[in-house]
Homo-oligomer: A and B are copies of this chain.
């Protein structure tokens, strides 16, 4: 099972049309940010590697001279590689929630510190949820030009459900912490 997933995000995005490395980074930052990330330091070298393996091709200007945007497109071999990956089992997603570490070790600090950490976590994800809701509305309002429209809405729905779960947890935890504070000061 391949560990390097960068190549498959690239292949997936190129399966919808030709793009530059910069485009790919922008799309990941804008649309995927809540469930994926890549840096330029991964994307550009991977593009070269994929091209050398004939999974993608570019319009790289043979003219030595002026700098230009390099558009990549997927080859039939690349499409095959993408399709094979779709069938492969996924790796267990490993996450690291610092907020839970701090909740677990909460005995080492005051309730106020924990409260402000939970509040911060809640605010960040409320903001993120607003962005997701806007994106969903945008997609729902627009006519369904692309066939993958509904698939993308499923992806957005995942983010909404998970962020709502975070926010609910924060609300309950705030109440728990406030009850605690009251008992402490009694």
A-side interface residues toward B, CB under 8 Å? Answer: 5, 8-9, 12, 15, 32, 35-37, 79, 82-83, 86-87, 89-109, 113-114, 117, 120-121, 124, 147-148, 150-152, 154-155, 157-158, 161-162, 164-166, 168-169, 172-173, 176
Inter-chain contact A168/B172, CB cutoff 8 Å: no
Q: Apart from A90-B99, A92-B124, list 8 A-B contacts with CB within 8 A.
A: A82-B108, A90-B120, A100-B158, A103-B154, A105-B148, A157-B169, A158-B169, A161-B165
Inter-chain contact A105/B162, CB cutoff 8 Å: no
Query: Once the chains are docked, how many angstroms separate the CA of A90 from the CA of B122?
Result: 12
Inter-chain contact A166/B162, CB cutoff 8 Å: yes
Across-interface contacts of A147 in B (CB, < 8 A): 107
Instruction: Find A108's partner among B12, B154, B166 (CB 8 Å cutoff).
Output: B12
CB distance from A147 to the nearest CB of B (A): 6
Copies in the complex: 2
With A89-B120, A124-B92 already in contact, the answer to whether A8 and B101 are too (CB < 8 A) is yes
Which residue on chain B has the smallest CB distance to residue A153?
B176
Inter-chain contact B103/A151, CB cutoff 8 Å: yes
Instruction: Find A5's partner among B12, B95, B101, B109 (CB 8 Å cutoff).
Output: B101
Inter-chain contact A161/B168, CB cutoff 8 Å: yes
Inter-chain contact B98/A86, CB cutoff 8 Å: no
Inter-chain contact A105/B86, CB cutoff 8 Å: yes
Inter-chain contact B97/A36, CB cutoff 8 Å: yes
CB distance from A174 to the nearest CB of B (A): 11
Across-interface contacts of A101 in B (CB, < 8 A): 5, 8-9, 12, 32, 35-36
Which residue on chain B has the smallest CB distance to residue A150?
B176
